[in-house]
Structure 1
Amino acid sequence: MVDEGLLTIGAFAARARLSAKALRLYDRLGLLAPAHVDEVSGYRYYRADQVERARLVAMLRRLDMPLARIAEVVEAAETEGADRLAAYWADVEARVAGQRTLVEYLRGRLSGRSSELYGKFEIETVDVPAQVVITETRHTLADELPAWIGASLGRLEVAARECGGVTAAPFVVYHSEVSMESDGPAESCVPVADEAAARAWAAGRGRRWEAGVRVEPARRLAYTRISKAQVAHPQILAAFEAVEAWMEREGLEYDGPCREIYFADWDAAGAEDPVCDVAFPVR
């Protein structure tokens, strides 16, 4: 027998200002279960005090919040739920800001203003001697790349103490494209002084991080220097493309995968401070 205090799905839908179809979906997704389901008829019944949750779920879905995060918000205590919502929206705003920058970059390309974008970068060449590097390699997508670079270079710089110390600026090599569709791999590299010690380190403990050691050959690099703000996507794409356009004009050929060389203290640098060289090996 159904409790007289329960509402039919139609009455509850009207109270919650939702459709019965939406309520069935919320039930199926585990976000709002009926208080009672008739075993014979299959009719759903709800309590009046479930109205607020139903409306909250509907509004959160309008924010394109993933279902798992909606569940976290509606199950949390009042202030914790508000904090979870704030954290989600901060992520959304950061993503939209990045997309807005990408749109402006693409507008420049599509309107034929690429030469103007490339003209903002000064291109130079430098000869780099052969060096022993300890490395960490990972397949990673673009959204995970910045965090991985910081963590991997940090690990390698600690390990370098066992390998005679760091001898030059650390760098990241892209053996294949890293984007939201392509996962590289990327390789973090830290030049060290003692090759024998580096190989002993790699043999003993490096495998935990997909790490290794190799001798990076002497190279000539074509590069442009960029600020901390320009390291962000898609600004950094314009820097890579500017170097490639310059290489084509100069008749230079690729002599290895592209790289980012981090020569400054990232945490101490301001947005406009130079921190990174975007480079291609050339011949």
Structure 2
Amino acid sequence: MDPAGPADRDGGGGGGGGGGEEWLTIGAFASRSRLSAKALRLYDRLGLLAPARVDDLSGYRYYRPGQVERARLVALLRQLDMPLATVKEILALDEVRAADAVQAYWTAAEERFAAQRTLVHFLCGRLSGRSSEMYEKFEIRTAEVPEQLVLGESRHLLAAELPTFIGESFARLEQAARECGGVAGAPFVVFNAEVSQESDGPVESCVPVTDAAAAREWAGRQGPSVTARVESARRLAYTRITKAQVAYPQILAAYEAVEHWTKEQGLTPAGSPREVYFVDWDDLGPDDEACDVAYPVR
């Protein structure tokens, strides 16, 4: 016989089981654990927090008092806006590793909040009509870039994947450049379409080289995403930014500053925007100049 009647299926109160064992209805357990009955049903479906017993006939859920601590831990982790999948992973760890995982999650969250705070300032400036004030801190210049032979690697990816791709693709292409006469100029990344949290480009990492025959031979041994091509001579409008400003969303203001200047000067965009990395990234501090944000213009 059930320790609780039909009215207790989702209600409060506890009951005594066989042999004096205490059982808690879902309502009583929800009250003790600080979780709603709805959340408990969800966590059961996801394998986060299963009831100790489910009656075969009625479907009533019963919990043991010893499960309260796990339930409260789930509730606390959810207060950090932690995804349920991450909560499940942490619950499977021992105490030391679980603590490390929580710290790692929060460190990443703080980095995300810092980026979002900067984005809020950027959006407020734009929406309040103060965009031109934000652009004034960027000095815009022009440069004539001669024709270049480049090794290129293209990829469709989202904004979060971009830093890793840039570093790894530059490493691959610069190593290949040793077979192709050496690196002949600053590596750069061409954005052939928008890269954001929703839009995946594509982008192309490029490293200038000197030996056309060797470059085409090397590219031919790679997959279709790797090419050896000639980048035509062009005029660039650009602004030089620091390593700290390369981070999203700060870099958005740099792009918009170049666009704004180009329009004011009566120039026309003549190709995809790019980022030119003219120094070794690893040797830079946050305030060191690191990158040119550039648009081909005519």
TM-score by length of 2: 0.91
> What is the CA distance between 1:239 and its match in structure 2?
0.9
> What is the CA distance between 1:49 and its match in structure 2?
1.3
What secondary structure does 2:293 align onto?
strand
Q: Which runs of 5+ in 2 are unaligned?
A: 2-16
What secondary structure does 1:226 align onto?
strand
Q: Which runs of 5+ in 1 are unaligned?
A: none
Q: 2:117 is matched with which residue?
A: 100
| Cα contact 2:34–2:75 (8 A) shared by 1 | no
Q: 1:157 is matched with which residue?
A: 174
Amino acid across the alignment from 2:223: R
> What is the CA distance between 1:228 and its match in structure 2?
0.5
| Cα contact 2:153–2:227 (8 A) shared by 1 | yes
Superimposed CA distance per residue, residues 21-59 of structure 1 (whole angstroms, 9 cap, x where no aligned partner): 221121112110011111111111112211100011111
Does residue 282 of the first structure (1) align with residue 297 of the second (2)? yes
Q: 1:77 is matched with which residue?
A: 94
Q: 2:79 is matched with which residue?
A: 62
What secondary structure does 1:162 align onto?
coil
Relative to structure 1, is the Cα distance of residues 17 and 230 closer, same or farther in structure 2, using a 3 angstrom cutoff?
A: closer
Q: 2:10 is matched with which residue?
A: none
**Runs of 4+ in structure 1 displaced over 6 angstroms?**
none
Superimposed CA distance per residue, residues 180-214 of structure 1 (whole angstroms, 9 cap, x where no aligned partner): 1211111100001111101111111x217x21111
What secondary structure does 1:278 align onto?
strand
C-alpha distance in 2 between matches for 1:141 and 1:40: 50
Q: 1:264 is matched with which residue?
A: 279
Amino acid across the alignment from 1:122: E
Amino acid across the alignment from 2:251: I
C-alpha distance in 2 between matches for 1:7 and 1:125: 73
C-alpha distance in 1 between matches for 2:136 and 2:37: 58
Does residue 17 of the first structure (1) align with residue 34 of the second (2)? yes
What secondary structure does 2:230 align onto?
strand
> What is the CA distance between 1:166 and its match in structure 2?
0.4
What secondary structure does 2:62 align onto?
strand
C-alpha distance in 2 between matches for 1:20 and 1:179: 38
Which among 226, 230, 243 is matched to residue 211 of structure 1? Answer: 226
C-alpha distance in 2 between matches for 1:124 and 1:10: 68
Which among 119, 127, 132 is matched to residue 149 of structure 2? Answer: 132
Amino acid across the alignment from 1:152: S
Does residue 116 of the first structure (1) align with residue 133 of the second (2)? yes
> What is the CA distance between 1:241 and its match in structure 2?
1.1
Amino acid across the alignment from 1:272: D
State the identity %. Answer: 65
> What is the CA distance between 1:252 and its match in structure 2?
1.1
Q: 1:237 is matched with which residue?
A: 252
Superimposed CA distance per residue, residues 213-239 of structure 1 (whole angstroms, 9 cap, x where no aligned partner): 110001111111111011111221111
Does residue 170 of the first structure (1) align with residue 195 of the second (2)? no
After superposition, residues 247-258 of structure 1 pair within 5 angstroms as 247-258=262-273
After superposition, residues 177-216 of structure 1 pair within 5 angstroms as 177-204=194-221, 206-207=222-223, 210-216=225-231
C-alpha distance in 1 between matches for 2:254 and 2:35: 50
C-alpha distance in 2 between matches for 1:118 and 1:79: 48
C-alpha distance in 1 between matches for 2:250 and 2:168: 22
Superimposed CA distance per residue, residues 107-134 of structure 1 (whole angstroms, 9 cap, x where no aligned partner): 1111111111111111111111111111
- Structure with the greater alpha carbon radius of gyration: 2
Q: How many residues align?
A: 281
C-alpha distance in 2 between matches for 1:188 and 1:175: 11
Q: 1:220 is matched with which residue?
A: 235
Does residue 29 of the first structure (1) align with residue 26 of the second (2)? no
Q: 2:9 is matched with which residue?
A: none
C-alpha distance in 1 between matches for 2:100 and 2:296: 47
Root-mean-square deviation over aligned CA pairs:
1.3
> What is the CA distance between 1:17 and its match in structure 2?
2.8
C-alpha distance in 2 between matches for 1:85 and 1:155: 34
